[in-house]
Amino acid sequence: MGVQIYSGALSLVAKSGVGRAVEHQREMLRRCGVEVTDESRADARVVHCNTVLPDSPFAALWARARGKKVVYYGHSTQEDFRQSFRGSDQLSGLFRRWIRFCYNCGNVVVTPTEYSRRLLESYGVRRPIYVLSNGVDTDFFRPIPEARQAFRSRYGLSEQDKAVISVGHMIARKGLPEFLELARSMPQVRFFWFGYTAPELVPAVIRDALANAPENVTFPGYVSREELREAYCGCDVFAFLSHEETEGIVVLEAMACGIPTVLRDIPVYEGWLHHGVEVYKASDQDGFRTQVEGLLNGTLPPLQEAELELARGRSLEQMGRRLRAVYEREGLPYQEEMPSVMAVLHKHIPLYFR
């Protein structure tokens, strides 16, 4: 057995980007021929930790005490903790110290972008840090005409109706207030926000914004993977106005479906997503509206070929090969060594022949 993905309290983040990233890890490993389990087994020689929940760093230390190697994934930063849940801004300094402790519990840290790598280094993470995209399942997320028809039928949209979607937790950091304001300024367009966050976890200002959302906004909640693919394929624009990300798996999913994408111009996208090449970027409400309207009325080209190429370059197969290269570079024992001929003979030849 090669790799254990520590499950612990993963169920608490299953409906989040971290949960999706863990699913991708399993599939990456499987596709590049590495055996993987969620169970705590003595023969698993490498352990992946993915959360900064209290159990994970201690699971990492326990694994290392038993001679195993730990790959700690750097999904979280102080910056993306802010503007999220109630009290997150006040606790962000403490959170920074906590995640530094967590990541230093690993032998190796893997984080999805150069931007997040620089942040972790600035916190004082002392382990080798590798940049590896969370990847996207391009076999599943791809342009499908039937999926477009299913989405439009589900929500009563004609082919002439324009639809803009976003995906994520219903929090300020994800750009929910700006998305609602964009919808309010374009009443002739249907807007959809996919995702759910319990109201008691978010500040009053977000609860008020949701209570006063314009009538052209629909909140389908957290939906299945299949229904989300229908939404990507069926919309006209994916508008992701997040203030802070370590990568943005939903961005890769939308691009893999070939849907025109508008993003907030933030540092995490620098160097790999370029304005007017794969996506469109803006920094304020006027800019968001200009880009979205340009895509809806056809005055801006949709950039489908370039975004599909970028998404395919981050397929799970390719990311799996790069993950295996990290193992090999760091000397992580992700697969059993081939036994020698003499060892096999010694194990299987009956004692009286020796």
pLDDT tens, 264-289?
999 999 999 999 999 999 999 999 99
354, part of any domain: no
Count how many domains the chain has. Answer: 2
Q: What percent of the chain shows pLDDT beyond 70?
A: 94
Which class for 242: exposed (0-12), middle (13-18), buried (19 or more C-beta within 10 A)? buried
Do 225 and 274 fall within a single domain? yes
* Pair (167, 262) in one structural domain: yes
What is the rounded distance in angstroms from the CA atom of residue 50 to the CA atom of residue 12? 12
Contact 8, 51 (CB under 8 A): yes
Same-domain check for residues 92 and 27: yes
Collapsing DSSP states into helix, strand and coil, what is residue 170? coil
Average pLDDT of the residues in 290-303: 97
Question: Are 125 and 159 in a shared domain?
Answer: no
Cα 76-268-168 angle, rounded to 5 deg: 60
pLDDT at 87: 87
Question: Are 262 and 239 in contact, with CB atoms under 8 Å apart?
Answer: yes
pLDDT at 340 over 50: no
The one-letter amino acid at 305? E
108 and 159, same domain (yes or no): no
- The C-alpha atoms of residue 150 and residue 245 are separated, in whole angstroms, by 30
Q: Is residue 81 part of a domain?
A: yes
Question: Does residue 301 lie within any of the structural domains?
Answer: yes
Residue with the larger pLDDT of the pair 340 and 206: 206
Burial of 205 by CB count in 10 Å (0-12 exposed, 13-18 middle, 19+ buried)?
exposed
Residues 16 and 150 in one domain: no
Q: What is the model's pLDDT at position 336?
A: 58
Asked if 81 and 98 count as a contact pair (C-beta separation under 8 A), the reply is no
* Residue 215 pLDDT > 90: yes
pLDDT of 335: 73
From CA 175, how far away is CA 191, in angstroms rounded? 14
Per-residue pLDDT at 337 exceeds 60: no
Residue 43 has what pLDDT?
Answer: 83
pLDDT over threshold 80, residue 177: yes
Residue range of the domain that includes 258: 145-312
* Whether pLDDT at 339 is above 50: no
Taking residues 114-120, what's their average pLDDT? 98
Contact 45, 68 (CB under 8 A): yes
Average pLDDT, stretch 182-201?
96
Q: What is the mean pLDDT of residues 165-184?
A: 97
Are 232 and 220 in contact by the 8 Å Cβ rule? The answer is no
The answer to whether residue 82 sits within a structural domain is yes
Based on the fold, state whether residues 153 and 289 are members of the same structural domain: yes
Mark whether 250 and 321 lie in a shared domain: no
Residues 295, 176: one domain? yes
In the three-class reduction of DSSP (H, G, I as helix; E, B as strand; rest coil), residue 70 is classed as strand
Question: What percentage of residues in the chain have a pLDDT greater than 90?
Answer: 84
* 333, 46 Cβ separation under 8 angstroms: yes
The average confidence (pLDDT) of the chain is 92
- CATH number at 130 reads 3.40.50.2020
pLDDT at 199: 92
Mean pLDDT of 117-132: 97
CB contact burial 289-314 (16+ within 10 A = b; e otherwise): bbbbbbbbeeebebbeebbbebbeeb
pLDDT in tens, 299-322: 999 999 999 999 999 999 999 999
Summarised one tens digit per residue, pLDDT across range 56-110 is 999 999 999 999 999 999 999 999 989 888 888 898 999 999 999 999 999 999 9
Asked if residue 191 and residue 111 are part of one domain, the reply reads no
Task: Tell me whether residue 349 is in a domain.
Answer: no
The reply to whether 49 and 92 lie within a common domain is yes
pLDDT at 7: 87
Task: Return the closest-CA partner of residue 184 out of 212, 223, 152, 150.
Answer: 212
| Domain shared by 220 and 324, yes or no | no
Compute CA 1 distance to the chain's CA centroid, rounded to the nearest angstrom.
Answer: 26
Mean pLDDT value of segment 110-123: 98
Rounded to whole angstroms, the Cα distance separating 113 from 269 reads 9
What is the distance, to the nearest Å, from the Cα of residue 77 to the centroid of all Cα atoms in its chain? 14
pLDDT tens column, 220-257: 999 999 999 999 999 999 999 999 999 999 999 999 99
> What pLDDT shows up at residue 350?
44
User: 173 lies in a domain?
Assistant: yes
How far apart CA 278 and CA 308 sit, in angstroms, is 8
Please tell me the distance from the alpha carbon of residue 161 to that of residue 189, in angstroms, as a whole number. Answer: 7
> For residue 55, what pLDDT is reported?
95
Position 190 in a domain = yes
Residue 202 in any domain: the answer is yes
- Residue 230: which CATH number? 3.40.50.2000
The two three-digit tokens of residue 67, written as one number:
């001679």
